[in-house]
Chain A
Amino acid sequence: MSKSPFEYAPAPESRAVVSIKSQYGLFINGAWVEPKTKNKFATINPANEEVLSKISQASDSDVDRAVKAARDAFTKTWSKMPARERGKYLYRIARIMQERAREFAVLETLDNGKPIRESRDVDIPLAAAHFFYHAGWADKLEYAGLGANPKPHGVVGQIIPWNFPLLMLAWKIAPAIATGNTVVLKPAETTPLTALLFAEVCQQADLPAGVVNIITGDGATGAALVKHPGIDKIAFTGSTGVGKLIARSIAISGKSATLELGGKAANVVFDDAPIDEAIEGIVNGIFFNQGHVCCAGSRLIVQENIHDEVLEKLKRRMSLIRVGDPLDKNTDLGAINSAEQLAKIKELSISGDAEGAFRWSPDCVLPSKGFWFAPTIFTGVTQAHRIAREEIFGPVLSILTFRTPQEAIEKANNTPFGLSAGVWSEKGSRILWASKALKAGVIWANTFNKFDPASPFGGYKESGWGREGGRHGLAAYLKGAK
C-alpha cells in the first residue's frame, strides 16, 4: 500500500452496532430451539480467524421438525391468509431490514469478510429491496402471466451459499413467501449470522410462526433437507457439482427445483470500447466481493489490437485496489471467506503457472492472520487452461484475446456454464449483436455485476434451472400452466 499515491488513515466502521450471542439455536416455528444432538460448530471472522459464535448443527430430526412447522404454517395460516395481508408482512420485513441495515452490514462483513463498502451499499440495500419488490407481487399473482390462479408449491427447502449470505436469503425467501409458500432455509456453514439475525426480524415483524424456519448446519443438513419427503420444492444456489447431486436426488422423489449454479463469465472488450469505463467494469467484474461471485467476469476476452493498452491500464488500476480490513470503509478487497476456499484459489492459480500462463499481482501487503489472496491476473491464457475452464471463485482474472467478433463469441461461449457475460463497445448494433450471440442468462453491456429485484437472474446450460427476480422469478414458486 506504500506505493499508493494517496495515503489513507484507517477508517474502521464500528462493531458496537452488533451484538453477537456466544451461541445460537435453530429458528423453528417462530422460536429458538436447541438442536437435538446439541452439536455446535464455530463461525469465524475470515479476516482474523476470531471465533464469532457457536452455531447449531441441525440433524435429520431437526430438519424434520422444521419441515413440519413449515407445513403446519402453510396449511393452517399462510395459505389461508388474504394475499394482501401476506404482502404486508413482506413490506414490514423490508422496512425492518432498512432500519437495521447498518447492523446487518457490519455483521455480514464480520462473518463473510467482504468490505463494509459492499455489504453496506450493495448486499443489505438490495436484500431489503427484494422484500419490498416481492411484497407488491403477493396480491397481483394472477397478472404474472402464469395462468388465472397460480398456486404455491407448499413447503420450499432453500439452501444458500456464503458469498452473499443475506442477499441470497432475500432472493430465496422474499419470492417464496410472497407467492404463499412457507420455507425452511439453510444458510451456508461459514456465514450463518445474518440469517440468524433475519430470524429476529421475522419475530419483530410478527410473521406467523413457521412461515420462515432457519436451520444451520453443514452439507449433511442440506442433504437431509433435499431428501425430506415433506419438501415440495427445492431452491438452491451454490456449485454446479452440488446442483447436479440435487438434480439426481430429486429425480427419484419428483420434487421440482430451481438451481443457481456456477459460472465462468466472459467479459468481451472490443477495440471500439470506452477503455476507461471498460477497465472499471473489468475490475468490478472480477474483484467485486473478492471474486466470490457466480457471475464474476472471470475471463477477460479482449481484442488483440488493444490487449497491451488494456493490460497496462488494468495493472495501473489494480495497483490502486486497497486490500485489507473489511471493516475499513476504504477497503476494496476483503478477506477470502474460508481456508478451504483460499486453498482452492491457490491450487487453481498454481495450475495457471504450471500450464504456462503468466501471473501478475500488484504489490500489496496481506494481513498475517486470516485468509487473503492478492488481486491477480493471468495473461497468455488459452482455452485449454484450467483457469479458463474452471470456476475459481476468487480474485483471479484469466485474460484471452481475439481478432474477429465471431472468434470472441466462440471463445466466450466455449464453456459448459452460461450465467452471465459482459460486452464492451461504443457501437450499438455490435452490442445488440453480441448480446444475442452470447449464451448467458444475464448480459451486462458496457457495465458489469449489476443486480436488481426487478431484473431476472439465472443461467443457461450448466449454470442452472430457472430465474430469480422480476416477473420471471415468480414462476419458480408457483404452479402454473404447463
Chain B
Amino acid sequence: MSRIDVKKTYKLFIAGQFPRSESGRSYEIKGANGKFIANPALASRKDLRDSVTAAKLALPGWSAATAFNRGQILYRIAEIMEGRSEQFAAEILALEGGTSKDAKAQVAQAIDLWVWYAGWCDKISTIAGATNPIAGPYYNFTIPEELGVVGIIAEQKESLLGLVAAIAPVIAAGNSAVVIASEKRPLPAITLSEALATSDLPAGVLNILTGKVSELAPWMASHMEIDGLDISGVDSKIEAELRVAGAENLKRIHRFNKSPSPQRMLAFMESKTVWHPIGV
C-alpha cells in the first residue's frame, strides 16, 4: 500500500506565529482543476486588528535597523525561498493552472525581486534625499523615512509574484505591513510566511492574512493605526469606498502597475526636511 501523505494545515501569520483565525472560521480552496485543496483560515476583523497591533509593535525596531541590515534580511528571504522553490511552484501550478514552466518562472521572478529590493534598502535615501541650497546660513537636508504600518491587498492573479511585488518594497522602505493574500490562491502566501519566519525578519514586520478581500479591506481602510494602503489587488468597484474610509486618517492610498520601481518604496515613505543653523 502506498504511503498516505501528510497534508498541511494552512494558518495565518501574525506576530511571527501561525494562529488559526480567532473566529474559528475557514474556507475552501479549490485547485485550477476544480478539486479540493485546502481549508485555510478565514481571517476576521479581530485577526486584522491583532495583525495591526503586531505590525505597530514591530515598527520601531525594523525602521531603526540599519539599511544594510534590512538589505541582508531581504536577501536572506530570497535565500530561504530558493530552497523551497519546488514547493512554491507546485502550489502555484495547483492553484493557477498553466504549465510547470510558468509556475517555476513565477517563483524565480519572485525570488529575484527580493534580491532587487534588498539592494535598494541602502540606496533609496541616496536617490530620493537631497541637500537643499537654501538662501541663508542653514544646513538643510531632506531624507525619506518609513511611513509606518501599511495595509496591502496584493494583486490577486499571480499569487506569489503579485504578493512579493507588493510586500518587498514596503518592508525595504522600513515599514511594517499587514497583508491580505490572494483570496482564491492563498497557499503560496502561507508558504512564504513560513520562509519569512525562518529568515531573520523580526516578528510582526509582515503579517499575512487569508480570507475575503471584500470583508477585510473596508476594515483595513478605516483602521486608524494603518498609515498607508496598497490597493493593487482590489476590485475597482470598491476602490472609492476604501478611499473614502481611508480619508479619516488621510491614509496614503496607492494602486500600482506590475513593474518593480523605487517609486513603490517612495509611495510609502515620507520626506523629512531638517534645518540647522551654520555658525561658529
Contact = CB atoms under 8 A, between A and B. Distances in A.
A247 B243 contact: yes
Given A247-B247, A462-B249, A482-B257, A442 B275 contact: yes
Given A452-B136, A481-B263, A244 B250 contact: yes
A416 interface: yes
A461 B138 contact: no
Interface in A245-262: 247-248, 250-252, 259, 261
Interface string A312-343: 00000000000000000000000000000000
A145 B256 CA distance: 18
A447 B275 contact: yes
Contacts of B227: 461
Given A145-B127, A441-B270, A452 B243 contact: no
A471 B144 CA distance: 13
Interface in A454-482: 454-458, 460-462, 464-465, 467, 470-472, 480-482
B128 A441 contact: no
Interface string B217-248: 00000000001000000000000100110111
B107 to A, nearest CB: 26
A251 B136 CA distance: 40
A447 B248 CA distance: 32
B256 A446 contact: no
Interface string A238-277: 0010011001101110000001010000000000000000
Nearest to B267: A482
B250 A482 contact: no
A63 interface: no
A55 interface: no
Contacts of A442: 272-275
Contacts of A443: 272-275
B263 A482 contact: yes
B247 A441 contact: no
Contacts of B127: 145
A445 B135 contact: no
Contacts of B261: 481-482
Contact of A470 (B130, B136, B138, B243): B130
Nearest to A251: B243
B254 interface: yes
Interface in A424-455: 431, 435-436, 440-447, 450, 452, 454-455
Contacts of A250: 243
Interface string B260-280: 010110010011111111000
A445 B275 contact: yes
A315 to B, nearest CB: 25
Q: Which of B132, B133, B138, B250 is packed against the most chain A CB atoms within 10 Å?
A: B250
B199 interface: no
A416 B148 CA distance: 13
Contacts of A454: 132-135, 140
Q: Which of B244, B271, B277 is packed against the most chain A CB atoms within 10 Å?
A: B271
A129 interface: yes
Interface string A105-149: 000000000000000000000000100000000000000010000
A460 B270 contact: yes
Interface of chain A, helix or strand or loop or mixed? mixed
A279 to B, nearest CB: 15
Nearest to A432: B274
Given A441-B270, A455-B273, A244 B247 contact: yes
B132 A456 contact: yes
Interface residues of B, number: 37
Interface string A392-417: 00000000000000000000000010
Contacts of A446: 276-277
B247 A248 contact: yes
B275 A482 contact: no
B138 A456 contact: no
Contacts of A243: 250
Nearest to B254: A482
Nearest to B264: A482
Nearest to B251: A247
B247 A471 contact: no
B233 to A, nearest CB: 16
Contacts of B263: 480-482
Given A444-B275, A447-B277, A482-B257, A456 B244 contact: no
Contact of A431 (B145, B249, B276): B276
Q: Which of B130, B246, B264, B272 is packed against the most chain A CB atoms within 10 Å?
A: B272
A259 B244 contact: no
A171 to B, nearest CB: 14
Contacts of A244: 247-248, 250
B252 interface: yes
A452 B248 contact: no
A250 B253 CA distance: 12
A452 B134 contact: yes
Contacts of B53: none
Contacts of B273: 441-443, 455-457, 470
Interface string A276-314: 000000000000000000000000000000000000000
A454 B135 CA distance: 8
10 contacts: A247-B243, A251-B240, A251-B243, A251-B246, A442-B272, A442-B273, A450-B275, A455-B132, A456-B271, A472-B142
Given A436-B145, A455-B142, A481-B261, 11 more contacts: A243-B250, A250-B243, A251-B240, A251-B244, A261-B250, A416-B249, A435-B272, A440-B272, A443-B273, A446-B276, A457-B273
Interface of B: 127-128, 130, 132-136, 138, 140, 142, 145, 227, 240, 243-244, 246-250, 252, 254, 256-257, 261, 263-264, 267, 270-277
